[in-house]
Chains A and B, each alone.
Chain A
Amino acid sequence: MMRTMPTPAITTVALVGNPNCGKTTLFNALTGLRQKVGNYPGVTVEKKEGIVSSVNGRDITLLDLPGTYSLIASSPDEQVVADVLLGSLKNTPVPDAVICVVDASNLERNLYLVSQIIDHGLPTIVALNMMDVAEQSGVRIDVRHLSDALGVPVIPTVAKKNKGTDDLRAALLAGPAPSSRAMQWTLPETVQRELDELSGMLSAAHKYRSVVAHHTALLLLSSPAAPDEGRTDISPEIRAHVRQDHEKLDFLGIDRYSVFIEARYKWIKQVCAYASSPSLSTGASLSDRVDAVLTHKFWGVLIFFALMSVMFQMIFSWAELPMDLIGHGFDAVSARVGSVIPPGDVHDLIVNGVISGVGAVVMFLPQILLLFFFLSILEDSGYMSRAAYVMDRIMSSVGLHGKSFIPMLSSFACAIPGIMATRTIEHPKDRLVTILVSPLMSCSARLPVYALMIAAFIPQYTLLGVVSLPGVVLISLYALGLVAALAMAWTLKKTFLKGTSLPFLMELPPYKMPSLKSTAIHMWERGFIFLKKAGTIILGISIVLWFLATYPKTENATPSERLAQSFVGRAGKFIEPAIKPLGFDWKIGIGLLSSLLQREVFVSTMGTIYNIQDDSAGSMREAMQRDVNPDTGKPVFTALTAICIMVYYVLAMQCLSTLVVVRRETNSWKWPAFQFFYMSALAYAVTFGVYRAGLMLGY
């Protein structure tokens, strides 16, 4: 199709499409950025910006948006799309054009959103993505016919392989135009009349642009109840008018909600019939057969837990060798530096503060890499959605639904992306409950604490010849986090966040082979972030901690007495009475204090203080094992203490960044404060219980 209209300069373009259709992949291909991609719906939950550079120097800002099935939003992430297109977002201009990404293997469902976008009147290009998948499943699409029927350019792409992206960029720079086929679908006459009338009233009364007026009118007509006094943005006359319209249409027996949907689908069916031939394959595909097992009521749940167990067992056993190597490496560096710098404070600072503190954390890099290796496979394969589907029954027994499980699974990496992922949850109360419990899931920052305690104090004991005791302990800690999150969700839903859940709808994306390259990139990025943190924040904290553990100096005392007299020693002694009931001494108290805002710091703190206290050669692990409480003559750390520490770290809220994000997502300090207090109380109570029970059992 040739277009002769003059092309106005395009500066901002939005990427819009159904969830999981490849928008972010396309965004990354066009901008060269690396935003997160994953094979499940709901990966992108907020607006992201990038630049598409053009030859003539007129750069275009590209907006990557969350996926949505409709412009009538049902969750906060979908609302972003409607807001951007309607221009109701403060710091974002209305885009000059839209790239509507369509999953070619699912044409009919995807065209629903396309038809809404076209009605919006913005210049539009359709990117017909996933052409490879469509071809494989035997769907044939006539691109020219589709373009004719929609009245916009259609460009076939395979974003993952970078195919068609050049054509897309060229089309973008050529300047697309609005579709000539807007509003081709037909409503029953009465409905159309009311829609036009209401839309006219809205533009007259509120000076809405026609698109916004039309969109609002449609929303008002199809919503279950007329707007009440709470909607101050709509005048009382219009509210009254809407109420009349509702009564009238209801009286005529018109389903105000589905009438619009049906009208669009009627048109879409015609478009599809004209432009595509349906898939030839019949019968259950391989993917369907796999799903029959993986989403089975019983086997699905069993397989999920088995997979998780294998994952954590592997994280523990595979990491052992590289971890030892890194440990030896640090020991060697430490010995080397020790011999170069003469004894004195700089020597101590570097050996006890810097190398032991940072080294203690860096040692756990292998575990972190393995965790992200497994999580990346989980996200790319398509299993994520199956896990959510399978867990739906368990989740609904606590009053949430399967969708809440995706944020919880994401929290295995870090609670922050988990909390962001709750934006896909429609029901505000369900969303809040999920935000409040997600930080109970064990994040990657807890892994070094677990790994340190397990390696030092849980005996290497093999059960039944296959599973090792340390692995079982690690799995139990993750399970404890999950159980605590579910129990807490149940409690919250039963008490002050009551509410019924909406029915659960979750799309199951096709299985995909995770690509080695993207997994490797993901691990590299995560490993880099971990090392960077160790080399900056943890390094800084270790240095300051060394100072606080060395000053004020006491002459003529044993290292242990000197530590006790230092600033941190006094602080630890100060809180000791409060933590004694948990089986913790003042040195563990120092760790608890220093890790109040960031969990990994516990590990670097132990590294530093045990090096200050214990001059003899050997690893910090050995120093901790040797440490004896002078008052009782018993070891400071036993297996029971180690378990208590880990239980405490599973449940306690020790992450400032998470609290800040919760505050932003809930718009008040009330919820992060509540979260902080309930998690601290829970951690204290449960650890106390575990310690008492352990003592009673004779440990």
Chain B
Amino acid sequence: MDWQQIASLCIVALSAALLVRSSLVKKKKRGSSACGSCDGCGNKERP
């Protein structure tokens, strides 16, 4: 294993973890009024 291989595997693991986390967080937020998953209606609230 060279350094590039190790580094690339780390990046892959990190992205996979982030992807899983983001899909879990989304599920939690969904529920009450806003649809939580939509990016289609343009109802982007300004913070």
A residues with a Cβ closer than 8 A to B are: 32-36, 46-49, 91, 342, 344-349, 413-417, 420, 443-444, 522, 525-526, 529, 533, 536-537, 539-541, 543-544, 546-547, 657, 660-661, 664
- Asked if B46 and A32 make an inter-chain contact with CB atoms under 8 angstroms apart, the answer reads yes
A380 to chain B, nearest CB (A): 12
Known: A344-B4, A661-B35. A540 touches B43 (CB 8 A): no
Contact yes or no, B12 A344, CB < 8 A: no
Interface members, chain B 6-45 (any A CB < 8 Å)? 7-9, 11-12, 15-16, 18-19, 22, 30, 32-33, 35, 37-45
In whole angstroms, what is the CA distance A415 to B3 when docked? 45
| B residues less than 8 Å from A533 (CB atoms) | 39
Q: Of A47, A443, A526, A546, which contacts B12 at CB under 8 A? A: A546
Interface size class of B (residues with CB under 8 A): 20 to 34
- Cβ B46 vs Cβ A34 within 8 A: yes
- The answer on a CB contact under 8 Å between B43 and A344 is no
A46 touching B33, Cβ below 8 Å:
yes
Closest 10 CB pairs of A and B: A414-B40, A344-B4, A417-B41, A345-B8, A657-B37, A543-B15, A547-B12, A540-B19, A416-B38, A346-B4
B12 touches A660 (CB 8 A): no
Q: Is the CB of A48 within 8 A of B41?
A: no
The answer on a CB contact under 8 Å between B44 and A540 is no
Q: Which of A32, A47, A347, A537 is in CB contact (< 8 Å) with B22?
A: A537
Could you tell me the distance between the alpha carbons of A43 and B40 in the complex, rounded to whole angstroms? 13
B11 shortest CB reach to chain A, Å: 6
Tally of A-B Cβ pairs under 8 angstroms: 96
Given A420-B35, A664-B35, A537-B42 contact (CB < 8 Å):
no
Asked if A414 and B39 make an inter-chain contact with CB atoms under 8 angstroms apart, the answer reads: yes
Given contacts A657-B37, A661-B35, contact A35 B43 (CB under 8 A): yes
Q: Is B45 touching A34 in the complex (CB atoms < 8 A)?
A: yes
- A604 to chain B minimum Cβ distance, whole angstroms, is 13
Judge whether B44 and A525 touch: CB under 8 Å: yes
The minimal Cβ–Cβ distance linking B14 to chain A, given in whole angstroms, is 9
- Minimal beta-carbon separation of B9 from chain A (angstroms): 8
The answer to whether B19 touches A36 (Cβ under 8 A) is: no
- Best-surrounded residue of A32, A349, A522 (most CB of chain B within 10 A): A349
Contact of B43 among A32, A48, A536 (CB under 8 A): A48
In the complex, A417 Cα to B11 Cα: how many Å? 35
Is A414 within 8 A of B41, CB to CB?
yes
Q: Are A544 and B15 in contact (CB under 8 A)?
A: yes
List residues of chain B with CB within 8 A of the CB of A444: 40
Contact present for A522 and B35 (CB under 8 Å): no
CA distance A317 to B45 in the complex (A): 33
Question: Given A47-B33, A347-B4, A661-B35, are A536 and B40 also a contact pair (CB < 8 Å)?
Answer: no
Which residues of chain B are within 8 angstroms of A413 by Cβ–Cβ distance? 40-41
Q: CA A450 – CA B2 in complex, angstroms?
A: 40
Please name all residues of chain A whose beta carbon is closer than 8 Å to the beta carbon of B35 when the two chains form the complex. 416, 420, 661, 664
A661 and B7 contact, CB distance less than 8 A: no
A660 near B42 with CB under 8 A, answer no
Residues of B within 8 A of A33 (CB): 45-46
Q: Which chain A residue shows the least CB distance to B10?
A: A346
